[in-house]
Structure 1
Amino acid sequence: MADQRPDYVGYCDEHGKRLYPSRKQARKKLREHRSDKGMREYPCDLVEGHWHLGHLPLAVVEGRKTARQVYRRRA
């Protein structure tokens, strides 16, 4: 079943980034703009169930941390 939700649903007030309603939608947008390497989708820690796109943190790029360590949901 195709994801029928809109591309993005607005902007996060705190982060100022677009909010994508699903990881699938965020990944789709990321594939459309694949010229910008080093980006990935990650969950918004303020709006449950929504996602942002952003550059990988320097710690991940340099191998000091894994993406999982950085993007783990904060409880």
Structure 2
Amino acid sequence: MEALYWVSTILELSGNKAGGRRQEEKKGRREEGNKIRNKAESKSIRNLRLTIRRVIELLAIYSNCVNTYARI
């Protein structure tokens, strides 16, 4: 009977530890997910800035061409 008590106690304690580990793993995965999401957002913002810069450069080139054509 005493052996059964100890076995059940050990199983309970190991279950709690495993549960705690699972919670830590979940928390770690959540934090990693947030980092990845933030990195993806910053990448998309960076890409948007580059696109806007390219559009402005193309408009400047187009404007130069129009001005040059108007002079001729």
Q: Please give the TM-score of this superposition, normalised by the length of structure 1.
A: 0.18
Query: RCO higher in 1 or 2 (8 Å CA, sep ≥ 6)?
Result: 1
The structure with the largest alpha-carbon Rg is 2
* Higher percent of residues as strand: 1
Query: With structure 2 as the length reference, what TM-score do the two structures score?
Result: 0.19
Q: Which has the higher helix share?
A: 2
